[in-house]
A and B are shown apart, each in its own frame.
Chain A
Amino acid sequence: MKAKVYISYKEGILDPQGKTVGGALDSMGIDGIEDLRIGKYIEISFGDISKDKAKEITDESCRKLLANPNTETYHFELED
């Protein structure tokens, strides 16, 4: 069992890194990008546990440490 966790800044939170990278793509001549935001991707591996248990552990980890509720949101997918 594996969890793939995606953490992104809430809307309205300044992401200067994303802005800079977006600007670089623009200056390379890659057109059409309206906005670019950079977040975090985390993979968590579990042993032999149920999907419900994995979901519970992942959610608790996100709430307590992985994401900052003031500035970030998270979602995750579980895979066998």
Chain B
Amino acid sequence: MILYRRKSKKEEFMKVSLRNEPYLIINIFFAGVIMLIIAYSGIFSPEKDNYPVICIHEKLTGIPCFSCGLSHSFSLIVRGEIKEAYEWNIYGMRVFLFFVSQLILRFAFSLFYIRYADTRKHLIITDSVGSGIIFFIAFWPFICSIAKGIF
């Protein structure tokens, strides 16, 4: 038998258990991953050129791909050198903005999720659709390159 009891907003806020809220776990995890990406961009510098990620596409074909120079671009954006960042990879800024927007959205949606328990289902749908659209806008050139490669 399931018993429901109306709780005050404050009580609900306090009693949100992470274990029973997969949405919050996912949000926290992604926020952590994005912060790691930003930290990676900050730690590895374009001057030293000590990036551990190697382009598999370039290794296989010998030709640089659309995403080559993305790490350099991120590092330069973090350091405020926007013009140079565009020179390394023209799509670097839009991908970086995607990650930054996702970081903000993870915190914002988590807060809304805890505060407004009645609208959780709508919130998850809005988040999924919105993030999907932002993803497609940010990664559209890469998606197009895949489509061109196949067809």
B is a partner of A: no
